[in-house]
Structure 1
Amino acid sequence: MSALEIRNIRKNYGAIETLKGIDIALESGEFLVLLGSSGCGKSTLLNIIAGLAEATSGDVLIGGRSVLGVHPKNRDIAMVFQSYALYPNLTVHRNIGFGLEMRGVSVAERDKTVREAAKLLQIEALLDRKPSQLSGGQRQRVAIGRALVRKPQVFLFDEPLSNLDAKLRLEMRTELKRLHQILQTTVVYVTHDQIEAMTLATRIAVMRDGRIEQLGTPEEIYNFPATLYVAGFVGAPSMNMLQAVVENGKLAIAGSPARLPLPARLRNAVADGAQVVVGIRPEALRLATGIAKELSLPVEIDVVELTGPELVTTARIGTQRLTACLPPRARVAKGETSAFAFDEETLRLFDPASGMAL
C-alpha cells in the first residue's frame, strides 16, 4: 500500500486548467520533490494534498484512505510553509508544542516530545527564546520542529528555504537530508531550485504547464532527460543543445563542418536526413587530447569564467554556442581555437518537433 497516492488530479479555475491529470504513487519513506518554474502547478498540487485547495477531479489517498473532502487537520499530514508562521509572543518551546497543546496532550508528554524534536534539530538551547531573538535558519528549524512533533504519515514542504541566504540554505538542506535519513518519513517538497531537488530527493517530478514532464530518480532526471525541457531546466550550466542533421550515419552539426559518428544505440532511432538536437552536458566535455578514438568538436573559445572549482568556458562551434566545465587550471584563452572531447555514452538526441528524447 502506497503512503501517498495521487490519482488523475485535475484542477480548473474557470476555463483555465492548472493541473492536467497528475498521477504519482509514493511508498513509505520516499522523498518526492515537485520541481518546476513558477506557474507550473506544483504548489497547487501540494495544497490539494494538504486540503488547502479542492481538486476539480481525481483522488488523493494517504495510507490507502481517500482524503478528498477531509479537513486538513484530519489528514495525518504536517506542513512547513515558505513563511515560518511562528507565534511571535510564544517561546520556541510553546511554538513547537502548540499543536500538541491544542490536541490536549499532557504537559509532561508535550515537554518530552518537544525536547526530542529540539535535540534532533539541534536547537535545545533556544527553547526559552522568542522568534524575534532567532536567526532565519533557527526560525525555520522551529517551524520544522512544529511539524515533526505531529509524527504524521506525510510531511509537506512548500519552498521552505526560499527566505534564507545562500549559506543558510546549504546548511538547512543538509539538515533536511539528515532528518529524512533518520526519520524515514514520506515527504513531498516543492521547489524551483534544481540543486535542492537533486540533493534532497529520492524521486523528482519535473512539472511544466500542469503536467509531469518526467518522474524519476535524480540520476535518471539528470543523465537521461526525457524531454528537451527537462534537459534544459535541470543542470547548471544547462545541457548544451546543438542543432544537427543525420547524414550517412553521422551527425552534421548545423552551421559547422563538424561531423560526429551516430552512436550505435541510436542508429535505429533516427532516419537519414532527420533533424535532431544533440544534447551534451557541460561537465561531460573536456579538452581534446588528439587520441584517435575520442569524439571531439572543433571550437573557438569565446568567454572563460573561473568559478573556483571549475573553469566555465563558452565557445562557438560554427554559428552555435557550446559551454564546457573544465578543471580550474585548464589552459584556454579567449579567441583561441581548441577542441572539446566527450564520451559517446554522454551524448543524447532529441526530436526538435516533439521535444522527446530519442
Structure 2
Amino acid sequence: MSTLELVGIGKRYANLETLKGIDLKLESGEFLVLLGPSGCGKSTLLNIIAGLTEPSRGDVRIGERSVARVHPKNRDIAMVFQSYALYPNLSVARNIGFGLEMRKVPKAEREAAVRRAAEVLRIEQLLDRKPSELSGGQRQRVAIGRAMVRDPKIFLFDEPLSNLDAKLRTEMRTELKRLHQALKATIVYVTHDQVEAMTLATRIAVMHQGAIEQIGTPREIYDHPANLYVASFMGSPPMNALRGTVSADGTGWEPEDGSGRIAIAPALRGGLPPGAPLTAGIRPERLRPAVDGAAADLVMDVEVVELTGAETLVIGRVGSQPLVASVSADAAPEPGGTLALQIVPESVRWFDPDTERALALGPEALPTDRLGHARRADA
C-alpha cells in the first residue's frame, strides 16, 4: 500500500481559516486517527485527501505522486461515510459490487471480489438481502465491503460508527481492528470519540482549531500529552489539572488553597525555582487511597461517588479545584467526607500554567525545545 503525505495543507473560507498548515506523513499499513471536537477541521482534512475539497494551499501526495489536482475517482482511494448510503432497491451483493459494475469489470471477476469481501467481513449469508433487512452494524459492513472490493491504496473513514448504539460500536471497533490486521491496509479515520481512537489507531493526530496539537501512538498521547488541551481531551474521565506552586525547598509541589504535597522527580527540580507556579496533570487511575499511616500526597473533599463497575469514580475538590480519582469499589469513601490520596511522583505530568505546554521530565518525555517544553506537532 502507498504512503500518504500532506505538505503545508491550509484551507480558508473568506476570513475563516479552518486548516492552518498541516504537515503529516503516513507510512504504508498505518491506521491514523484524526481526533478532535466538532469544528476542529478533521473532516475538512479528510475531504481534501479524498479530493472532495480543494486546499487553499499545500500538496497531497499518495506514493510518489501529487494528487492535488487529480479527480477523486482517479486517486485510488475508497471512502466510508457516516451514513451508509446504500441503494435500497439493490441486494447486498449488488451494493458491494456496484462500483465495479460501473467500471465495466467483468461479471465473474466482480462476483469473485464480492465473495472475498463478504468472507472477510463475515456477511456471506447476507448477500441476497436488501438493506432494509439488515441491522445497523450489518449495513456498515456492507458499506465497508463496497470500499474493499476496489482494492484502494488508502481507506478513508468519516465517523463511520456514529450512527450505531453503544453495543454495536464496540463490536464494530473490534471488526475494524481485525480488518486492518487482515488487510494490512493504510487507513485514515476521523472521529471525535477518544475511545475509538485509542482502541483502533497505530497513531493519533489530535486536532484543535485547524492545527495538529500532537501526533503519536495512543500510549504516547495518553501518557505524555504535549499540552493541557491534549491532556483534557484524551481519557475518560480526563486528566486532572491542578494549579499550585513549587515548594520552598524546590523538591515538591503544593496545591493552590488545598492540602497536600507531591514530590517533584529529581530530573525536573533544577529548572524550577521555589514558589514558581506549576500545574500538575494527574490521571484519575494514578490516584490511590493512602494506606494506614502513610503521608497523603493530596487530600480531597468528597462530593460524589459513582460506581462504574470494577472501579468507582470519586469526585470532589482539593481546596477549590475539582479532582476525580478512580479507585476500587471496596475502597470508595462516603460523600461528605475526605479522602487521603497517594501518587507515584513519576506518573505526574507537569505543565507551564502560562503556555499550558508540558515540561520535559526524564528520558521518556517528548522531544523538547531549548526551554524544556515538550514540542507540539507543528513546533
Q: TM-score normalised to the size of structure 1?
A: 0.97
Cα offsets for 1:291-350 (capped at 9, x unmatched): 65x762122222111011210111222222211111122241112222111111110111
Amino acid across the alignment from 1:169: R
1:351 alignment partner AA: D
Q: Does 1:321 align with 2:322?
A: yes
Report the TM-score when normalising by structure 2.
Answer: 0.92
Secondary structure at 1:278 match in 2? strand
Q: 1:281 aligns with which of 280, 283, 308?
A: 283
CA distance, structure 2, for counterparts of residue 291 and residue 99 of structure 1 = 69
Would the aligned equivalents of 1:2 and 1:25 in 2 still touch at CA under 8 Å?
no
Alignment of 1:1-358 (within 5 A): 3-248=3-248, 249=250, 250-290=252-292, 296-358=297-359
Write the letter of the residue equivalent to 1:66: S
Deviation for aligned residue 1:288 = 0.8
Q: Is the 8 A contact 2:262 2:345 kept in 1?
A: no
The superposition leaves residues 149-178 of structure 1 with CA deviations (integer Å, 9 ceiling, x where unpaired) of: 111110000000000000000000100000
Contact 1:295 1:343 in 2 (8 A): no
- Distance in structure 1 (CA, Å) of the matches to 2:271 and 2:176: 42
Greater CA deviation, 132-141 or 243-252? 243-252
| d(CA) in 2 for partners of 1:100, 1:178 | 25
**1:6-49 deviation per Cα after TM superposition (whole angstroms, max 9, x unaligned):** 10100000111100010110110000000000000000000000
Ranges in structure 2 where 5+ consecutive residues have no aligned partner? 360-379
- Could you tell me how far apart the structure 2 residues matched to 1:331 and 1:56 are? 54
CA contact (8 A) 2:312 2:332 kept: no
> Over aligned residue pairs, what C-alpha RMSD do you find?
1.3
Distance 2:266 2:226 in 1: 19
Retained in 1: the 8 A contact 2:48–2:55? Answer: yes
Note closer, same or farther for the CA distance 1:348–1:269 as it changes in structure 2 (3 Å cut).
farther
Matched residue SS, 1:128: coil
What corresponds to 2:362 in structure 1? none
Aligned 8 A contact 1:295 1:344 in 2: no
1:138 Cα deviation (Å)?
0.6
Displacement over 3 Å in runs of 4+: none
- The residue type equivalent to 1:171 in the other structure is E
d(CA) in 1 for partners of 2:107 and 2:293?
A: 73
For 2:211 and 2:350, the matched residues in 1 are separated by 23
Q: Distance in 1 between matches of 2:86 and 2:151?
A: 19
Letter of the 2:162 counterpart? S
Give the letter aligned to residue 28 of structure 2: S
Which amino acid is the alignment partner of residue 123 of structure 1? Answer: I
Is the contact made by 1:113 and 1:149 (CA closer than 8 Å) also made in structure 2?
Answer: yes
Counterpart contact for 1:314–1:322, Cα < 8 Å: yes
Aligned residue for 1:329, secondary structure, equals helix
The farther-off stretch of 333-342 and 237-246 is: 333-342
Cα distance in 2 between the residues matched to 1:10 and 1:331: 49
How far apart are the structure 1 equivalents of 2:338 and 2:213? 38
1:272 positional shift: 2.6
Give how far 1:274 is off: 1.8
Moved more, 143-152 or 328-337: 328-337
- Structure 1 Cα separation of the partners of residues 355 and 44 of structure 2: 27
Structure 1 window deviating more from structure 2 (272-281 vs 14-23): it is 272-281
Tell me if structure 1 keeps the 8 A contact 2:61–2:67.
Answer: yes
Report the Cα distance in structure 1 between the residues aligned to 2:5 and 2:209, rounded to whole angstroms. 21
Q: Note if contact 1:79-1:155 (Cα within 8 Å) is conserved in structure 2.
A: yes
Opposite residue 317 of structure 2, the aligned amino acid is R
Matches of 1:270 and 1:341, distance apart in 2: 23
Separation of aligned partners in 1, 2:155 and 2:59: 18
Q: Separation in 2 of the partners of 1:252 and 1:10?
A: 43
> Deviation at 1:58?
0.4
SS at match of 1:11: strand
Moved more, 155-164 or 244-253: 244-253
Instruction: Work out whether residues 301 and 316 of structure 2, in 8 Å CA contact, stay in contact via their aligned partners in 1.
Output: yes
